[in-house]
Amino acid sequence: MSELTLAEASEQVIAKLSQARKEPDWLRTFRTKSLKLFRELPAELSNLYTKYADLTGVDFESTSLELPEPPRADIDSVVSKFKTDRAITIYQIDSKTLPPEIPEALLKEGVVFTDIGTAISRDPEYFKRYFLEKAILPEDDKFAALNNALFMSGFFLHIPKGMEITTPFRMVTVLSSEGNSLFTQNLIMAEPRSKFTVLEELYSTKLTQQSKRSTYSALSEVYLHEGAEVTYASINNLASNVNIFSNKKSIGKRDSKIVWSSALLGGAYTRSRLESVMKEEGASSENVEVVFGAGTQRFDTASNITHIGQNTSGHAVSKGVVKEKARAVFKGMIRIEKEAKNSRAYLAEHGMILGKDARADAIPGLEIETNDVKATHSASVAQINDEDVFYLMSRGLAEDDAKKLIIVGFFEPVVERIPVPEVAKRIRRIIDLKWSGVYDFESYLKARPLEDEYYEEEAHKPRDLFEGHYKYR
């Protein structure tokens, strides 16, 4: 297969991709339009952030557009490492998607959990309409446009009216090849009063060619109908040679609730955009996001809250630790529109800088167009508290262990929200190892779970981060 790079993405490439996937014409037109927008749009649409749009190191010339077929990794061995019966899992290993095993009972009720290509071919008329008015349009963002042009995988999840499902729906993505790109688009439809959890995990297998950059792009959209409640947890631990572009957005109707939690740990350059739109009365959203940067990693995250309906509430917390030469920019915007009376919003960005060459920028913005609201935001940058270290050391911990424990605790608000206990454990272990300077995949899998030392197995309720906050009283 000829090595076609991302920089060479063209109408012909899209035609080929679309043909191979036997897609309808309208989708091909949509992809072509998106590609055009990708070329035209600036890296940041809002001039508030132009200064921070830094794409050096994002090298499309040397990233291949195609994935090896079949995947380089041994599928069975990869799957066995991530297998759990506590979730319904779709595996996506390079270009290969393994369909999930969905219990009969759920299928009978009308639950759909499948890869996006299959979903589109099953009901093209529905998707034709959907692509015209989807939450993340190619016009919205340069890299959302790129994804809309080139997406080749992802899942479609549809939960019917009134269904409450405790078992999480899970997608595990493993990249085993270097120098390639993967474009994923996920779509979640929550019918009225449905209640369920989604877990997304991203890993790379052991690095062989450090110098080659890969591109991973994901676009996730969640539609919540009246009274629906969705929890969406994601863990990103791709290898240090992957450039990551992520766009997530939810649209919440009346009395719906979305809870996002994301751990951004891997990648060379990560660009994350997340927006919760509270479109109708009573909708609410929570977003908790943690970043752990080390080495030369760079993170550019935005967490936006948009209030359109009355009596809506939105919360977001971004926390980050940067060490060595890592850099992070935390952006966020609370937007309260004219009709959104009696809304409440809270946005916080907290950074911990642990290296002489590390850097963190925070830009928590507010745009408020009506008065009957309460909106607060805060940002802080600090170090590990010496007193905390002293306390733990006085209890017999070595200095490094004490600091490690504090760092693991710093991330706990997100980790404890991960719905599958063994995944939560793995994340703690990843943070623990990352603190010690170990970044490779095999070590994570082999390592003894940290819980044996610090945590009890029993599941506990995640702490309340927002309602009990002093600014809310």
- Contacts with other proteins by CB under 8 A lie at 47-48, 338, 341, 351, 353-383, 471
CB closer to other proteins, 163 vs 379: 379
Beta pairing class for 169-175 and 195-204: parallel
CA distance 99 to 156: 12
**In one letter, which amino acid is 206?**
K
Cα 138 to the center of its chain, rounded Å? 18
Asked if omega into 70 is within 30° of 0 (cis), the reply is yes
What are the distances in angstroms from CA 239 to CA 152, 211, 426?
A: 21, 12, 16
> In angstroms, what is the minimal distance from the CB of 275 to other proteins?
17
Specify burial of residue 164 (Cβ count, 10 A radius: 0-12, 13-18, 19+): exposed
* 361 vs 451, beta carbon nearer other proteins: 361
Q: How far is the CB of 215 from other proteins (least distance, A)?
A: 28
For the CB of residue 123, give the shortest distance to other proteins in the complex, in Å.
42
Under 8 Å CB-to-CB from 471, ≥6 apart: which residues? 346, 376, 378
Q: Which two tokens stand for residue 362?
A: 């925070």
Helix runs in 134-293, H state only: 142-150
Nearer to other proteins, 149 or 291 (CB): 291
How far apart are alpha carbons 367 and 127 in whole angstroms? 34
Please give the full DSSP string across 442-470, using - where no structure is assigned.
Answer: HHHHHSPPTHHHH--SS--PPPPSSTTSG
**Minimum distance, C-beta of residue 51 to other proteins, in the bound complex (Å):** 8
- Closest CB to other proteins among 186 and 318? 318
Looking at beta carbons only, is 35 or 360 nearer to other proteins? Answer: 360
Q: By C-beta, is 242 or 406 nearer to other proteins?
A: 406
The minimum distance between CB 371 and other proteins, in angstroms, equals: 3
Q: Find out whether 88 and 170 touch, Cβ atoms under 8 Å.
A: yes
- Side chain identity at residue 400, one-letter code: D
- Rank residues 163 and 366 by Cβ distance to other proteins and give the closer one: 366
Least Å distance between CB 369 and other proteins?
A: 5
Q: How far is the CB of 54 from other proteins (least distance, A)?
A: 13
Q: Judged by CB, which is closer to other proteins: 74, or 399?
A: 399
- Write down the least CB distance from residue 408 to other proteins, Å: 19
To the nearest whole angstrom, how small is the minimum distance from the Cβ of residue 400 to other proteins? 17
With respect to other proteins, which residue has the nearer C-beta, 100 or 364? Answer: 364
The length of the chain in residues reads: 473
Whether 163 contacts 111, CB under 8 Å: yes
CA angle (150, 151, 157) in 5-degree steps: 160
Q: Please report, to the nearest 10 degrees, the dihedral formed by the alpha carbons of residues 61, 266, 202, 132 taken in order.
A: -60
- Closest contact distance (angstroms) between CB of 152 and other proteins is 36
Residue 77 or 371 with smaller CB distance to other proteins: 371
Q: How far is the CB of 360 from other proteins (least distance, A)?
A: 5
Comparison of 100 and 314: residue with beta carbon closer to other proteins: 314
